[in-house]
């Protein structure tokens, strides 16, 4: 949370310094409505959303964000019609392949958070390969949340800690907040400073419940495929003006 980013103000024409968040989360919502507005199938909205994911990810890396977590598919999204889920799986494969070569130039480390064991063997193989090939890079860490649900993540952490207590490796008194954090998919990473949700929905939809204890939220009445780098700049400017107190004064 110490990086300074300079942006030319549209109002005053002067450069303004913005303190950048170290970790940004984005709930990439609104693809379906974007397509519906255009009389297109929902899958066309997902394609436009996936394209925007590439643009925004590269921009975050360019301006010096250290961690970016994008919510791509929740544990509840399996409830959607089979046709839509299949279209999404197809897109994940295509975009992962393409985005990976793109992200190589930016030295982006790609990680996946969520229960990826539910995906098809070829998608799992692609996920594994992506993580392996990008692990030694030194740039921004990109967490792609796929089959991610914060409640599932917390259940996983509780089970892992409980089994260590059961084996005698840990005692109940050793359990603290840091231990819970270090048993989540985001272990070792800072909590998100800012979560952005386009599409105008005022809810968290099972995203980073534990990690977002003191996160700043920005909700925009714009659908994800329409969310631009200018919108991100505006969100960063707004974030830099927030007074984060963390319970203090
Ligand atoms: C977000 O867009 C993408 C996923 C959840 C996979 P939606 O598909 O939820 O779009 P809306 O909210 O229906 O417009
Ligand atoms: C949240 O969006 C999940 C992702 C963006 C991947 P949803 O569209 O699934 O959330 P709800 O159903 O509106 O809460
Ligand atoms: Mg939605």
Measured in Å, residue 31 CA sits from the centre of ligand 1 at 5
Measured CA to CA, the distance from residue 53 to residue 41 in angstroms comes to 19
pTM of the model: 0.96
Fold of 4-151+191-241: Undecaprenyl pyrophosphate synthetase (3.40.1180)
Distance 52 CA to ligand 3 centre (A): 16
In this structure, the residue with its CA closest to atom 1 of ligand 1 is 29
Encode pLDDT of 163-174 as tens digits.
999 999 999 999
Asked if 243 and 181 touch (Cβ cutoff 8 Å), the reply is no
Around ion ligand 3, which residues have CB less than 5 A away?
Answer: 29
pLDDT, tens digit, 9 for 90 and up, residues 28-53: 999 999 999 999 999 999 999 999 99
Which numbered atom of ligand 2 lies nearest the CA of 145? 6
In the Cβ-directed half-sphere of 164, how many Cα atoms lie within 13 Å? Answer: 15
Q: Is 29 in the pocket of ligand 1 (CB under 6 A)?
A: yes
As to burial, measured by CB atoms within 10 angstroms (0-12 exposed, 13-18 middle, 19+ buried), residue 245 is exposed
- Ligand 1 centroid to Cα of residue 123, in Å, is 21
Q: Domain limits of the chain? A: 4-151+191-241
Nearest of 102, 20, 91, 112 to residue 54 by alpha carbon:
102
Q: What is the pLDDT of residue 2?
A: 55
């Amino acid at each position: 949370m110490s990086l300074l980013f300079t942006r030319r103000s549209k109002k005053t024409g002067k450069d303004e310094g913005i303190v950048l968040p170290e970790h940004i989360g984005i709930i990439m919502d609104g693809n379906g409505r974007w397509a519906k507005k255009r009389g297109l199938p929902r899958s066309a909205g997902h394609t436009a959303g996936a394209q925007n994911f590439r643009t925004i990810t590269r921009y975050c890396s360019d301006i010096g964000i250290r961690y970016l977590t994008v919510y791509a598919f929740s544990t509840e999204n399996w409830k959607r019609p089979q046709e839509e889920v299949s279209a999404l799986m197809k897109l994940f494969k295509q975009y992962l392949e393409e985005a990976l070569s793109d992200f190589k130039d930016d030295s982006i480390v790609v990680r996946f958070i969520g229960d990826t064991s539910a995906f098809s063997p070829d998608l799992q193989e692609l996920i594994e390969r992506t993580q392996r090939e990008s692990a030694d890079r030194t740039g921004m860490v990109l967490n792609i949340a796929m089959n991610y649900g914060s409640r599932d993540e917390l259940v996983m952490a509780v089970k892992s800690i409980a089994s260590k207590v059961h084996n005698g490796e840990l005692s109940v008194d050793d359990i603290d907040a840091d231990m819970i954090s270090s048993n989540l998919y985001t272990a070792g990473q800072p909590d998100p400073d800012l979560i952005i949700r386009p599409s105008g929905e005022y809810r968290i939809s099972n995203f980073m419940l534990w990690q977002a204890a003191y996160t700043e939220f920005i909700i925009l009445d714009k659908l994800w495929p329409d969310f631009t780098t200018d919108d991100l700049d505006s969100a960063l400017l707004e974030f830099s003006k927030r007074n984060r107190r963390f319970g203090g004064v």
